Structure 1
Amino acid sequence: MKTKITDFFKLVFPSTYSEVAVFLFFIVCYGILGSYIAIHYRIIFDNRIPWDAYFSFDNKSILMTGGSFERHPLSYYFFNWVREFSLFISGGKMDVNFRLTLAWLSNIIITLNIIQVFKYLKNIIYLPLWLSLLITLFFGVFSTNIILSFTPENFTYTLFLLSLYNYYAAIKLRKEEKIPATALSLAGITIGGLTITNFVKVFIPLIFEKDLFRSWKKFGNALFRVAITMICFIVLYLNRIDFKYQNIFSKTNQQYEKFSNVKSMPTWDMIFSFFFGGNILFPGFIMSDKHNMKGFNFKGLYMDLYSSVIPYFFIAILLILISWSYIKNFKNKWVQIIIISFLIDIVIHCVMRFGLHTSYIYGGHFVFVYPLLLGWLFFTYRTSSKMMSFLTLTVAILCTYLLVNNIFRMLEFFWFMENYYQ
Structure 2
Amino acid sequence: MKTKLIHLLKQVFPSTYSELAVFSFFLICYGTLGTYIALHYRIIFDSRIPWDAYFSFDNKAIVMTGGSFERHPLAYYFFNWIREFSLFISGGKMDTTFRLTLAWLSNIAISLCTVQIFKYLKSIIGLPLNTSLLITLFFGLFSTTIILSFTPENFTYTLLLLSIYNYYAALKLRKEEKIPGSALTLAGITIGGLTITNIVKVFIPILFEKDIFKNWKKLGNAVFRIVLTTVCFVFLYLLRIDFKYENIFSKTNQQYEKFSNVESIPDWDMMLSYFFGGSILFPSFMTTDKHNMKGFDFKGLLMEPYSSPFCYAFIILILAMILWSYLKNFKNKLVQILAISFLFDIVIHCIMRFGLHTAYIYGGHFVFVYPLLLGWLFYAYKSKPKTSSFLTLLMGILFVFLLANNLFRMSDFFQFLETYYQ
Q: Which TM-score bucket, shorter chain as reference?
A: over 0.9
SS in 1 for 2:213: coil
Give the unaligned 5+ runs of structure 2.
none
Q: Within 5 Å, which residues of 2 pair with 1:254-265? A: 254-265=254-265
Please tell me the residue identity of whatever aligns with 1:326: Y
* Cα shift at 1:308: 1.2
Partner of 2:182: 182
Name 1:68's counterpart in structure 2: 68
> What is residue 286 of structure 2 aligned with on the other side?
286
CA distance in 1, matches of 2:145, 2:186: 24
Can you give the 5+ residue segments of structure 1 that lack an aligned partner in the other structure?
Answer: none
Partner of 2:268: 268
Q: Please list, as runs of the form range in 1=range in 2, the aligned pairs for 1:378-417 lying within 5 A after superposition.
A: 378-417=378-417
Q: What residue identity is the alignment partner of 2:203?
A: F
Name the residue aligned to 2:361.
361
How many Å separate the matches in 2 of 1:361 and 1:318?
A: 19
Is residue 57 of structure 1 aligned with residue 57 of structure 2? yes
1:40 Cα deviation (Å)?
0.2
AA partner of residue 131 (structure 1): T
CA distance in 2, matches of 1:25, 1:182: 33
- Partners of 1:226 and 1:164 in 2: CA distance: 19
Counterpart CA distance in 1 for 2:174 and 2:266 is 43
**d(CA) in 1 for partners of 2:109, 2:72:** 19
> What does residue 3 of structure 2 align with?
3
Does residue 112 in structure 1 map to residue 88 in structure 2?
no
1:48 corresponds in structure 2 to 48
**Alignment partners' CA distance in 1, 2:10 and 2:404:** 34
What one-letter code is carried by the residue in structure 2 that aligns with 1:373? Answer: L
DSSP-derived class of the 2:286 partner: strand
Q: Within 2, Cα distance between the matches of 1:2 and 1:294?
A: 52
Structure 1 match to 2:17: 17
After TM superposition, the runs of 4+ consecutive aligned structure 1 residues lying more than 2 A away are none
Q: Deviations over 1:208-242 (max 9, x none)?
A: 00011111000000000001000000000000000
How far 1:387 sits from its partner (Å)? 0.2
Offset of residue 111 of structure 1: 0.4
Q: CA RMSD, aligned part only?
A: 0.4
Using the alignment, how far apart are the partners of 2:79 and 2:259 within structure 1? 24
Deviations 1:32-81 (A, max 9, x none): 00000000000000000000000000000001111000000000000000
Q: CA deviation at 1:253?
A: 0.2
Supply the distance in 1 between the matched residues of 2:42 and 2:140 (Cα, whole angstroms).
25
* Deviation by residue 1:169-227 (Cα, 9 ceiling, x = unmatched): 00000111100000000000000000001011100000000011111000000000001
The residue type paired with residue 409 of structure 1 is R
For 2:92 and 2:401, how far apart are their aligned partners in 1? 43
Q: Which residue number in structure 1 is paired with residue 332 of structure 2?
A: 332
How far is the alpha carbon of 1:310 from its aligned partner? 0.4
Paired position in structure 1 for 2:419: 419
Provide the rounded CA distance (Å) in 1 between the counterparts of 2:169 and 2:308.
Answer: 40
Matches of 1:93 and 1:174 in 2, distance apart? Answer: 48
Residues 203-218 of structure 1: matches in 2 within 5 Å? 203-218=203-218
SS for the counterpart of 1:278 is: coil
Q: Which residue of structure 2 lines up, in the alignment, with residue 156 of structure 1?
A: 156
Matched AA of 2:334: W
Separation of aligned partners in 2, 1:293 and 1:382? 57
Q: Structure 1: which amino acid aligns with 2:215?
A: S
Read off the aligned partner of 2:323 and give its amino acid letter. Answer: S
Q: Are 1:91 and 2:91 counterparts?
A: yes
Measured in 1, the distance between the counterparts of 2:62 and 2:420 equals 22
Does 2:235 align with 1:235? yes
For 1:15, what is the secondary structure of its paired residue?
A: coil
Q: CA deviation at 1:2?
A: 1.3
Aligned partners of 2:231, 2:267: CA distance in 1, in Å? 38
- Residue in 2 aligned with 1:195? 195
1:137: which partner in 2? 137
Alignment-mate amino acid for residue 270 of structure 1:
M
C-alpha displacement of 1:31: 0.2
State, as a whole percentage, how many aligned pairs show the same letter: 74
Q: 3-state DSSP class of the match of 2:277?
A: helix
Letter in 1 for 2:379: F
1:169 aligned to 2:173? no
Q: Please give the alpha-carbon distance, in whole angstroms, between the structure 1 residues aligned to 2:411 and 2:367.
A: 23
Distance 2:23 2:86 in 1: 23
In the alignment, the residues of structure 1 paired with residue 121 and residue 247 of structure 2 have an alpha-carbon distance, to the nearest angstrom, of 43
Structure 1 counterpart of 2:175, one-letter code: K
For 1:258, give the aligned amino acid: K
Kindly state the Cα deviation for residue 5 of structure 1 after the two structures are TM-superposed: 1.1
Instruction: Note the C-alpha offset of 1:381.
Output: 0.3
Q: Distance in 1 between matches of 2:386 and 2:18?
A: 27
TM score, norm. by length of structure 1: 1.00
Q: Report how far residue 24 of structure 1 moved.
A: 0.5
Q: Distance in 2 between the 1:264 and 1:227 partners?
A: 42
Q: Which amino acid aligns with 1:308?
A: S
Once residues 38 and 406 of structure 1 are traced to their aligned partners in structure 2, the CA distance between those partners, rounded to angstroms, is 20
